[in-house]
Amino acid sequence: MKIYFAPDTRAVRIVWLCEELELPYEVEMYKLGDPRMRAPEYLEVHPLGRVPALQDGDVVLCESGAIVEYILARHGGGRFVPETSSPDFAPYLQWLHFAEGMLMPPVNTIVVETILLPPDRRNQVNVDRATKLLGRMLAAVDQHMAGREFLAGDFSGADIMTGHACSVSARLGADISDKPNVSAYIERLNERPALQRARALGA
């Protein structure tokens, strides 16, 4: 498998998962803003010129949630996914998709308005609205995590997705001081050697 990767992006999720599964992979390294990501060769892999993308034989995928589900289904051997008969299966699905459906949209707004746009084009109203919404999303995670170590029973693909989104939110300055379960959850994830290796890649 080849992973098209840039540090501090959603591509960390894919390397993290492969490290957890101890799967062999090759990395094509980029940095954000790399003009090579707009080259015709790369646009054939990812039509938006972004990361991550995965190439596995004839299969090419370029959405992090789909890549996580694909790797688990094709190469996971049943690991990190509850059995469909398990009471953890429905929560697993919910929290697997909560990352991109709920957490990352306001994160994206904050990144655009505070990092990517030049100062004269930034809109504080958008930042404030996104920050408030992100706080509500994280509060839902905090409530769910009361008395739990991971999102859906044992460590799973849901933690790769939503756990990563929680960590990104905190690193962008989301206030989690009143969310002790989220804070403890992020700390547990940060201690995982596989995540540490993924974050060190290209640093």
pTM of the model: 0.96
Is the domain spanning 2-79 CATH 3.40.30.10? The answer is yes
Model pLDDT, residue 202: 75
**54 Cβ partners below 8 Å, 6+ apart?**
1, 2, 3, 4, 14, 60, 61, 62, 67, 70, 71
Hey, which CATH number is domain 89-195, 1.10.3720.10, 3.40.50.11540, 1.10.1060.10, 1.20.1050.10? 1.20.1050.10
**7 Cβ partners below 8 Å, 6+ apart?**
31, 199, 201, 202, 203
Contact (CB, 8 A) for 96 and 162: yes
Q: Count Cβ atoms below 10 Å from residue 149 Cβ, excluding itself.
A: 12
Residue with tokens 């694909």: 70
Sequence spans of domains, the chain: 2-79, 89-195
Instruction: From first to last of the 203 residues of the chain, give the pLDDT tens digit.
Output: 999 999 999 999 999 999 999 999 999 999 988 999 999 999 999 999 999 999 999 999 999 999 999 999 999 999 999 999 999 999 999 999 999 999 999 999 999 999 989 999 999 999 999 999 999 999 999 999 999 999 999 999 999 999 999 999 999 999 999 999 999 999 999 999 999 999 999 76
